[in-house]
Amino acid sequence: MAASRTATRTLRALRTSTRPALTAAPRAAFRQGGRRLYSSEPAKSGGSNIWAWAIGAGALGAGGLWYLNQDGASATPKVFAPKFDDYQAVYNEIASRLEEKDDYDDGSYGPVLVRLAWHASGTYDKETGTGGSNGATMRFAPESDHGANAGLKAARDFLEPVKAKFPWITYSDLWILGGVCAIQEMLGPQIPYRPGRQDRDAAGCTPDGRLPDATQAQDHLRNIFYRMGFNDQEIVALSGAHALGRCHADRSGFDGPWTFSPTVLTNDYYKLLLDEKWQWKKWNGPKQYEDKKTKSLMMLPADMALIQDKKFKQWVEKYAADNELFFKDFSNVIVKLFELGVPFAENSERWVFKTVNA
């Protein structure tokens, strides 16, 4: 763990000065000590009356949650209005557990938490006002079974103990807070956050097909993202999240990481798109690309569309050349994504949480 932390901080210092050399290094160079450097159901409770009050008070929003204090035979309803420190405590709990299992992917749950928050938000339709992070409807079928959400049960299950420890937070707010925490703890930019999402039941599940299809090209990307209200620049900035994590053959069908450091957020995704030579991978799975040099990285057809389309490519080039610009634009657009369709209270405040391990 100590070696991993030291190497991760070293990556932060080298991010803008020597990243080209790092991106060309074999993946093993990032795995010190066998660790990182690659880059659901409601909790059970002892008293059903407590949860009856909690469920009935759901409409109160982030500003207050009814619960019962039980003193012997008496029960007194009170209002709990969580503040910044309460949400920081949830953040800290998530951060403390991100690397608790060495054998999960590249040693961190961070990437899958980002994917959960992304997919919970990316179902938004600006024309109908449906979908988005307000609802956490991926808890239910059929949305939990949509192909784009394969493997996200791992993220939902990871957050269940956090929900049990902090029962006042909605799943909707928790999932987004998990994504915010993961980005910041994986050396990404600060992501302002505000609560106020309310959970919905299965009736709020969105239809399949609202999330990007990795096998498609630029026309599909524009159809998907324009529906949410994003422009070309924002599409490319959001795609930078592919610097994190990897695909799994038993989930999406695709296999492999996009970058050599899948638990550290950098602009390497854009650099690799431009600088590496990519070829079709010869295997029995769906069509995907591999880098010619090491054959250990992959890109999807939707990724390659970003350099095949002139309007997209100009932003790929800008972000490849300027990590600070990428961080600024990524932070802005991920906040927009996470807040799509959420009926926040008037004058609600955004907070920036203190990091724990970064």
State residue 48's pLDDT score: 34
State residue 56's pLDDT score: 36
Q: What does the alpha-carbon distance between residue 184 and residue 308 come to, in Å, rounded to a whole number?
A: 31
| From 119, 175, 242, 315, the catalytic residue | 119
State residue 63's pLDDT score: 44
Q: What does the alpha-carbon distance between residue 296 and residue 349 come to, in Å, rounded to a whole number?
A: 43
Neighbouring C-alpha atoms within 13 Å toward the C-beta of 206: 25
Residues in the chain: 358
pTM (2 d.p.): 0.82
Q: Give the H or E element holding residue 135.
A: none
Closest CA to 211 of 116, 290, 278: 116
Task: Indicate the CATH number for domain 84-204.
Answer: 1.10.520.10
Number of Cβ atoms within 10 Å of the Cβ of 307: 17
Active site residue 258: yes
Q: What does the alpha-carbon distance between residue 119 and residue 211 come to, in Å, rounded to a whole number?
A: 7
H helices of 42-140, in order, are 48-56, 84-97, 110-121
| Inter-axis angle of helices 218-228 and 301-308, nearest 10 | 90
Place of tokens 């420890």: 165
358 residues of the chain, pLDDT tens digit each: 444 444 554 554 454 333 433 333 333 333 333 333 333 333 333 333 333 333 333 434 444 444 545 444 455 666 889 999 999 999 999 999 999 888 899 999 999 999 999 999 999 999 999 999 999 999 999 999 999 999 999 999 999 999 999 999 999 999 999 999 999 999 999 999 999 999 999 999 999 999 999 999 999 999 999 999 999 999 999 999 999 999 999 889 999 999 999 999 999 999 999 999 999 999 999 999 999 999 999 999 999 999 999 999 999 999 999 999 999 999 999 999 999 999 999 999 999 999 998 7
State residue 80's pLDDT score: 85
Tokens at 182, concatenated: 């993961």
- Please report the DSSP string for 17-55 in residue order: TTHHHHHTS-GGGG-GGGS------PPP-S-HHHHHHHH
Q: What does the alpha-carbon distance between residue 288 and residue 214 come to, in Å, rounded to a whole number?
A: 9
Q: What does the alpha-carbon distance between residue 7 and residue 71 come to, in Å, rounded to a whole number?
A: 51
Q: What does the alpha-carbon distance between residue 271 and residue 168 come to, in Å, rounded to a whole number?
A: 42
Count H helices, E strands: the chain?
13, 7
H helices of the chain, in order, are 2-14, 19-23, 48-56, 84-97, 110-121, 153-165, 171-185, 218-228, 232-239, 268-275, 301-308, 310-321, 323-339
CB 18 within 8 A of CB 249: no
CB 26 within 8 A of CB 296: yes
In the chain, which residues fall in CATH 1.10.420.10? 218-333
Closest CA to 260 of 251, 270, 248, 269: 269
| From 66, 118, 168, 258, the catalytic residue | 258
Tokens at 28, concatenated: 């093993």
In the chain, which residues fall in CATH 1.10.520.10? 84-204
Pick 218-333's CATH classification: 3.40.630.10, 3.30.530.20, 1.10.420.10, 3.40.605.10: 1.10.420.10
How large is the C-alpha radius of gyration of the chain?
A: 21
Pairing of strands 74-80, 289-291: unpaired
State residue 67's pLDDT score: 52
Which are the contacts of 189, defined by CB distance < 8 A and separation ≥ 6?
Answer: 183, 265, 327, 328, 330, 331
Neighbouring C-alpha atoms within 13 Å toward the C-beta of 90: 28
How many angstroms separate the Cα of 169 from the Cα of each of 101, 190, 215, 345, 355? 25, 21, 36, 16, 20
State residue 179's pLDDT score: 98
CB 245 within 8 A of CB 105: yes
